Structure 1
């Protein structure tokens, strides 16, 4: 049997989530989604391509506007059930109907050309006569049909809707495109494959590919995160004459570089997930000075309470001070700590303005300083890792129809003490120049286990709220 790529028209009332359904199922956040009625004004097709091969086509259609009038026209001539599809084609062929019923003509044309139907409803409201007219028109097409209840709001009408939809459609499912995780999407895609002979092979290939991609992404992202984290832990920036002339403070230059690196890494993952329109709202509320860093609640925001951080730092052999290396000799000065994309200023000292042999505070500067970094604050590794893992988790479970920005808050991580000590030991090894390939592999494996655990917890928490049935 010839393998066919399923083609379905997504149909329903205006503003009931048709475009969101398309966006989530084909993983395309460029599909126009709006709260106002009538966002979709014409039939637009979107494709899920896998290795250059189209495995699913969805056509986003305008909603019904005059279903009663259309059904009245169809039933004005008595026809038997076998003649109903031909009657629909007569409706489309009538020259005046493109102007009188533009929305209905736009949605029925691709259906009568061979597309199946994905009918989207919001079950929070009772079934109306207009709903029944729409469903009857779709039944007249004779094409394979599935109904999807989009639970946009909480309502008590689902039982009535289920009983009604089952009279008109081969399959009825409940599916929220704004919260659907991969298992929910896979179940819906497999059901689509059962609507018409020849569709199941394409859907089986697509579902298998998505599951394989999930596992490969877990491995690849863990490797990339390990590389990014190491670069942030070991980052040092040269101080040039240009910086001296501009009056930029040394710690501000490093903060900008760390912040830029985080932003670029986040956007590289957005590209990997094919998010083209989604923004990242990084909360920059940790630009803290040295005094605030010593407050208990501040330590908690950074990942650990003060007492815990001191214990973990001591066990890892890491410095418990507030330090960034500055200079050729690696002297540690109380210059600042990472913040808000990554370093908050802790002093107004500018390394490039100090002369050899001068003192700053209690420290003698034996030579003019030419670089700043890396950050050696013991909470810095925990913060950078926590932010990166939080972003990946959000990205992993975010459907393409859900258009809110990614928001990163600074919260304490629930790692056990052994994991915290291990991270600080890795940083010490890295910054002391003893980092080897086996360290990198161990770090990537640890990250993979952390991501797996996070995703398992999320899926378990969402299981009782799964919308798919």
Structure 2
């Protein structure tokens, strides 16, 4: 049985060690802070895929008295081959637990067989303390790599690179706040070359990461398709609503649709290791525009009014977008942006109409027996744009990034064919003409959209990781 590679992440305090651990093991429970000394004791974190530990990282406190420790090691002249034994002697000295607690905490797992990831931000010139830390790590005799974490622009990167090259087998620049999968895989591959003992295990880790990404893409495409269909077809008999809501059933409907979106986003965040992630509240608007059923912002998520009319083939002028919540076929208008009404959208698919097919989006004559489904032709686009944007943001988000997720409000950039396709599907769904073949086609469409959205970003990241 192959043992998972183990590394200690070490360095001076406040260099971003915990952020690197969080991103590499995909765990946002790792404590990350801007204040010095966030990590006060060594803590082990495991990267688990399919129930198997593939990598273990120990987040250590930073060196505090490196020059004093090095002075103790150098008190007795020893040959290079005997230096690891000298480090073990330092750890075995009873008084050192009290005198050098941080150094004992970080050196103990290293001497137990862990590799070394030495982290520096290279923001200041190389000091004698830095040199002492690197020399101590060299004395351990363990496989070691140096990571330059570009927390801030630095004029000292070249001198750091030259210094690090003398003590470490590999020196890489790695930003845990921006590193997507290609950058992490490039780092794992470099770690695999530190010693033959870990080559197979870390190569397998990269292979499983790729396989997981393919599975994730397939699974999330199906989940988004099911979610989209459920939201578009959601309806409730008025007789089942509490009496207090009968006068404002649209409020209840909005709450249900908003809650369904929040639940989907939270479930995805949890399953992908981003349990701490939250959607940002954008307080510069007098309304909460991150909510799905914030109809005032639909023109940002779906199509602009003019584009919507072009796609839908609607006749008539419109000075504002209006939501039709379809009370049993009756039109209950909410969320007017600037006043006015949306002309009938019955002609939006006239060129695609089958003989005898009725395309009325805004029926006005039936008795009100139920609330929903939402029938505004912009709603399918709004619904899908928000879901795809959230998945894209979450997918590319390193686990060290702790800022709130903000759904950037922008008009959809899909071509007209894609827009019409979504509207076709939504109408077939709401008319009860939905079939399994259409469900498969929808999930395939979502997968293609995600692939296109992720491809350019990941390719750019991959090119940067090879520099």
Q: TM-score, normalised by structure 2?
A: 0.87
- Give the structure with the higher percent strand: 1
Corresponding residue of 1:48: 47
Gaps of 5+ in 2: 283-287, 316-320, 342-362
Contact 1:321/1:378 (<8 A) preserved: no
Partner SS for 2:56? strand
Partner SS for 2:372? strand
| Displacement of 1:89 | 1.2
Gaps of 5+ in 1: 340-345, 347-362
Change beyond 3 A, Cα 1:312–1:96: same
Give distance in 1, aligned partners of 2:72 and 2:298. Answer: 71
Give distance in 1, aligned partners of 2:83 and 2:103. Answer: 16
Change beyond 3 A, Cα 1:86–1:461: closer
| Displacement of 1:190 | 1.4
Out of 71-80 and 298-307, give the one that drifted further.
298-307
User: Residue by residue, what CA displacement relative to the aligned partner does 1:6-62 show, whole Å, maximum 9, x if unpaired?
Assistant: 111100011111111111111111111111111111111111123222221111110
Corresponding residue of 1:308: 307
After TM superposition, the runs of 4+ consecutive aligned structure 1 residues lying more than 4 A away are 286-290, 363-367, 460-464
Corresponding residue of 2:67: 68
Contact 1:151/1:174 (<8 A) preserved: yes
Corresponding residue of 1:58: 57
Corresponding residue of 1:279: 278
Note if 1:179 corresponds to 2:178. yes
Give distance in 1, aligned partners of 2:385 and 2:190. Answer: 38
Give distance in 2, aligned partners of 1:83 and 1:219. Answer: 53
User: Residue by residue, what CA displacement relative to the aligned partner does 1:429-456 show, whole Å, maximum 9, x if unpaired?
Assistant: 1111111111111111111111000001
Give distance in 1, aligned partners of 2:373 and 2:384. Answer: 16
Contact 1:393/1:455 (<8 A) preserved: yes
Contact 2:225/2:443 (<8 A) preserved: yes
Give distance in 2, aligned partners of 1:324 and 1:403. Answer: 37
Partner SS for 1:147? strand
Corresponding residue of 1:251: 250
Corresponding residue of 2:351: none
Contact 2:245/2:252 (<8 A) preserved: no
Out of 402-411 and 165-174, give the one that drifted further.
402-411
| Displacement of 1:197 | 2.4
1:190-269 matches, cutoff 5 A: 190-240=189-239, 243-245=242-244, 249-269=248-268
Partner SS for 2:138? helix
| Displacement of 1:207 | 0.6
Note if 1:5 corresponds to 2:25. no
Give distance in 2, aligned partners of 1:170 and 1:159. Answer: 17
User: Residue by residue, what CA displacement relative to the aligned partner does 1:152-194 show, whole Å, maximum 9, x if unpaired?
Assistant: 1111211111110010011111111111010110111111112
| Displacement of 1:134 | 0.2
Partner SS for 1:8? strand
Contact 1:337/1:375 (<8 A) preserved: no
| Displacement of 1:393 | 0.3
Corresponding residue of 2:346: none
| Displacement of 1:149 | 0.7
1:325-336 matches, cutoff 5 A: 325-327=326-328, 330=329, 332-336=330-334
Change beyond 3 A, Cα 1:460–1:52: closer
Change beyond 3 A, Cα 1:449–1:214: same
Give distance in 1, aligned partners of 2:322 and 2:93. Answer: 81
Change beyond 3 A, Cα 1:338–1:202: farther
Corresponding residue of 2:77: 78
